[in-house]
A and B are shown apart, each in its own frame.
Chain A
C-alpha cells in the first residue's frame, strides 16, 4: 500500500494536498479504496458548497456499501472533479490522482497526519 510523502491524512482515510495555505485537493486514500472494494458511484458536492472539517461532503458507493467521505478542511468548494462521475474506477486505480474537490478559503482543518503517522495508524487499524 502506498502513502505519498507530500500528502496529509485523516483518521477517516481521506488525503489532502495543499497547493498553498488556503487551497487544497481532497480525495480518499489507497487504504480506503482497498477497504471499500470496487467503487461504482460517487456523489460529489457542487462548486460553491461549504466544507466543514470532520463533516461528510461526499459519499462513495461500492458493490457492498455506501460510505461518507469527510472533509479534512473547512472552506469552500472551488472545483469538482466531474470525471469521477463517469469513471468511478479511477478512485480504485489511482486514488491519489482521483481528487474529489479543490477546496479554497481554508480556515480550519481536522487532525491531520503525515505519511509515516498515517501508515502506522492504518497498521494499528488492520
Chain B
C-alpha cells in the first residue's frame, strides 16, 4: 500500500477544521525558513489510508493473540466509553481540587482496590508503563536505604529468568546487577541466593509466577533470605493475572510492586496503549512515593504529596485515562471476578498445554500458571525447523504467534499465554493450528522456512531493518 506522503497532492486539504477562536498573534520572529512538508490530503483520503493500515495490523479483536508474558486479554468496549466521559476528558490537571472531585475519586478508588489486590498500603499511579514502574520502585528502595544512612547497599539481585527490563531498570537506577541462576526446575536457586545476599544487597527483583509460567514454591523463603540480609523485595507484576485475588505479593514478603494496567487490568497494550504502571508499597515506604495521591480530608478529596518523595517520574497524575479504564474493568468484574479471572487464565493455559504436549515438548512439564513454554531445540537439531518457523507458520492459520526466544534460559522457546478471555472453541482451534503447523513442518521443512505463505508481507528482513533502518520519508531531494 502507499505511504501517506505518496497519496499527498500539493494544495489538497480538508475544510472541516474549525476557524480560530483566539486572537491571531504575529509570530514572524519564529517563522520557519521553509514550510513543513506535511502530507496534503482531503479528510476522506486520510480516513481511507488509516482504515487500510488498520486492516494490515493484528489485534486481539482480530483473532487469538497468545503473546506470552504480555497478557493480551480482550479490552472490553465499555472501558472506552467511561474513559471518554466529558468529566474525565474535559478537565485540566491544574484545576483546583474542588473542581475535579470525580477524577480524584477515581484515583483514590483505583489505588485502594489495587493496594488490596497486591497487599500493599499505598500506591502511586504516576508511572506510565511497567519498566517505568520498576525504575520508580527501585528509586523507593534506594531512597529508603539512604534515609537510614545505609549507603553501602548498591546491588540488586535478579534471577536469570527475569524480564530483560529488570536488570535494565536496576542499572538505570544506579545499582549493580547480580544475576541469580535458576535451579533445574526453573525456580530460584536458594543456595545461590544465600551466597549472594549480604551487606551490599539493596534488594531482589522477582516475577512470580516467573517467566516460565511457574509459581515459585519457595517464595516465602526467598523473601525471608533477602529481608534477613537487610534488603527489600520487589515484585514485578507482569504476571499478576495468574494470581490476583488468590494470593497477594504483600503476603509473600514483597515490599514494593508494580502493576501493568495494560496487561492485567484490560487496558490496551502495545501500539494501542498508552500503558500505566502503578507502583505500590508497604507503609514504611509511603513517604517516598512520587507525584501525588488523592486523600480525603474534611469531607472532600485533596491531592497530597509525600514528604520525602523521590520526585515526579511523570507529569501530573500519570496516564489518567488508562486509570479510568482499569477502574471500570475492576468495577465490572467485581470482587468475585478478580480471582475468577486468574483461575480461568490458569485453566486456559493448562488446557492448551495439555492439548499440545504429546507433540510439542514442554520446557517444564508440570502444571503451569497462566502461560507455558515450549522448547523446539530437538526439532531444530533433527529437521532444521526452528521456533521462528513454527511461529511464522501459525500466522497462516490466522493466529498471532506466541512470544519467541524468550525466556532466554529456554532454547528455541515459544511462550504461550492464552488469557482468560478465550473460549474453549478458540483454544481448540488454536491447538489444531499448532498441531497442523508442526505436522506440515515435519513433512516439508523447506516450506516451513518460507512461511507465512498467505500474508501480503512474508518475512521482513529484520536484520536489514535493524542495521539500515529507513525511518524518514525520502522526498527525493
A-side residues, CB < 8 A to B, are 38, 40-41, 61, 63-66, 88-89
Nearest-neighbor residue (CB-CB) of A87 within chain B: B467
Specify the main secondary structure of chain B where it touches its partner.
helix
Cβ-defined partner of B405 (8 Å) among A40, A64, A66 = A64
Interface size class of B (residues with CB under 8 A): under 10
Cβ-defined partner of A63 (8 Å) among B164, B408, B462 = B462
Cβ-defined partner of A65 (8 Å) among B408, B462, B463, B466 = B408
Q: How far is the CA of A64 from the CA of B405 in the complex (A)?
A: 7
Cβ-defined partner of B467 (8 Å) among A64, A65, A89 = A89
Q: Mark B459-477, 1 if CB is under 8 A from A, else 0.
A: 0001100110000000000
Q: How far is the CA of A65 from the CA of B163 in the complex (A)?
A: 12
Segment 336-379 of B: residues with Cβ below 8 Å from A: none
B-side residues, CB < 8 A to A, are 164, 405, 408, 462-463, 466-467
Most chain A CB inside 10 Å of its own CB: which residue of B164, B405, B408, B466: B466
Task: Please give, as numbers and ranges, the residues of chain A lying within 8 Å of B467 by CB-CB distance.
Answer: 40-41, 88-89
Q: How far is the CA of A65 from the CA of B466 in the complex (A)?
A: 12
Task: Please give, as numbers and ranges, the residues of chain B lying within 8 Å of A66 by CB-CB distance.
Answer: 164
Task: Please give, as numbers and ranges, the residues of chain A lying within 8 Å of B463 by CB-CB distance.
Answer: 38, 40, 63
Q: Is A41 touching B405 in the complex (CB atoms < 8 A)?
A: no
Distance to closest chain B CB from A126 (angstroms): 11
CB<8 Å pairs between A and B, sample of 8: A40-B467, A61-B466, A63-B463, A63-B466, A64-B405, A65-B408, A88-B467, A89-B467
Distance to closest chain B CB from A86 (angstroms): 9
Q: How far is the CA of A61 from the CA of B466 in the complex (A)?
A: 10
Task: Please give, as numbers and ranges, the residues of chain B lying within 8 Å of A61 by CB-CB distance.
Answer: 466
Q: Is B466 touching A41 in the complex (CB atoms < 8 A)?
A: yes
Distance to closest chain A CB from B199 (angstroms): 22
Closest 10 CB pairs of A and B: A40-B466, A38-B463, A63-B462, A40-B467, A64-B405, A63-B463, A40-B463, A88-B467, A63-B466, A65-B408
Distance to closest chain A CB from B172 (angstroms): 14
Task: Please give, as numbers and ranges, the residues of chain A lying within 8 Å of B164 by CB-CB distance.
Answer: 66
Q: How far is the CA of A90 from the CA of B200 in the complex (A)?
A: 41
Nearest-neighbor residue (CB-CB) of B404 within chain A: A64
Extra contacts, 6 of them, besides A40-B467, A63-B463, A66-B164 (Cβ < 8 A), are: A38-B463, A40-B463, A40-B466, A41-B467, A61-B466, A63-B462
Distance to closest chain A CB from B382 (angstroms): 16
